[in-house]
Structure formats: C-alpha cells, structure tokens
Amino acid sequence: MTYRIKEIYFTQQGEGKNTGRDFVFVRFSGCNLWSGKEKNRESAICKFCDTDFYGVNGINGGIYEAKELVKMIKSLWVADTSPISVVLTGGEPLLQLDDELVIELKKEAIYIAVETNGTLKAPEGIDWICMSPKAGTEIKLKAGSEIKVVYPQKNLEPEEFSDLDFKNFFIQPMDSQELEANVAKSIKFCMDNPKWRLSLQTHKILGIR
C-alpha cells in the first residue's frame, strides 16, 4: 500500500484540546467532500475548506510506503519531548489510513492523532480522534476524543452531536469574511451551552503553520 501525501512538517497543534503540543503534521491528499479545486467549490458538499490538500507537491509531499512515511516522520521530530507524535490530517486521512500504517507507527511507539470529517470508519489503534462534522453528511464515527464544530454552518446544529461518545466538545469560529461575527456567535453559543468550549485557530493568530 502507498499513501498520497500533500505535505509533512513539524509544528505545534493550533486548535482544540491539544493546542500548543508538538506534532509532526502529515497532510493526506484528497477529500471525499470536495475535490480541492476552486472551480468545484460551489458544488462541493463542504464549501468552506481553508486547506490546500490537492496533489502531492507540498513540503516533503509525495507517494510513500508505510515504512518510508514513518521514517520521514521520525526524521522531522525535533522536540525534546516524547513520544514522537503525529497528526494525520488532510483532506480526509481516513480515505487512506489503514491497519498497515497504524502498525508501522506503533512499532515506533508514535502517538497517533487523526483529524477527520467523521464520514468514514477509523482503523483500531488511534490515540486521539478529532472529528469535525460537516453539514449534509452522514456521520459514521460515533466516538472519539474531541468534536470540533466549525461554526456557524447552515443546516448543522452542534447539539446534534452533544450525545455522541466524545470527551471534549469544541466550537470553532468559521474563518471567512464574517470572522468577527462568527467569533461573537461562537462565544454566545459556548456561554449558552457550557458543555461546549471555544477553540481558536491560534496558528493563524500567531502566523505559524
């Protein structure tokens, strides 16, 4: 099995419960809710994506076998902390993530976090699952570590997910021309619904990747 990877880089997580934690980010190419091409955005299921996941041409991007990918992840880990930790993101990583890659990562005791839209089942052995649901989709992932709702979304109410078996519930203002208004709406929602906490895209605020 090979994996199509857009980019791989070391940084700190900017969002959600793991904000500020060191990770190697592996961005998988491709998503099942948008082609990644601007000309298809209006007809996409998910229209507000802020990520370039198209192709394999980013930093350290390419087509990898599992062992090669693990080797690259290890080579980019420059933190003094342990364990080596990886965020598998996209695009939609669960289109490609399989048992073989999880096993190779675990052979090296690498902590595995995944960021997914929740429309696909995940393999066993993932340490942290962050699910960010999108309007108009059927959620297959019913349990995990955190739900992060980009807010507001037309035809999606965060309360739909309040009873799922997740440990942390976050509202994250949608980054758009209405960001200021979206922040205000997100704060109000969290104040009215204390189970939900505010997540900010701190990497954008700080100007880091």
Q: Which residues sit at the interface with ligand SF4, rule CB under 6 A?
A: 31, 33-34, 46, 49, 51, 53, 90-92, 117, 134
- Helix, strand, coil percentages, rounded to 5, for the chain: 25, 30, 50
CB-nearer residue toward ligand SF4: 61 or 71: 61
Candidates 120, 134, 209, 129; CA nearest to 172 is: 134
Q: Going by DSSP bridges, is the β-strand pair 2-12/62-65 parallel, antiparallel, or unpaired?
A: antiparallel
For the bound state, the minimum distance from the C-beta of residue 105 to ligand SF4, rounded and expressed in Å, comes to 21
Min separation Cβ 44 and ligand SF4, Å = 7
Q: What is the DSSP letter of 3?
A: E
Active site residues: 25, 31, 46, 49-51, 115, 203
Closest to ligand SF4 by CB, 19 or 153:
153
Cβ atoms within 10 Å, residue 191: 10
Four-CA torsion 60, 100, 36, 55, nearest 10 degrees: 40
Residue 117 C-beta: closest distance to ligand SF4, Å: 4
- Nearer to ligand SF4 by Cβ, of 25 and 77: the residue is 25
Rounded to whole angstroms, the Cα distance separating 110 from 98 reads: 15
Helix axes 99-107, 66-76, angle to 10 degrees: 40
Question: Shortest gap between Cβ of 82 and ligand SF4 (angstroms)?
Answer: 29
Q: Assess contact for 168 and 17: CB atoms under 8 A.
A: yes
> In the complex with ligand SF4, which residue's Cβ is closer, 54 or 111?
54
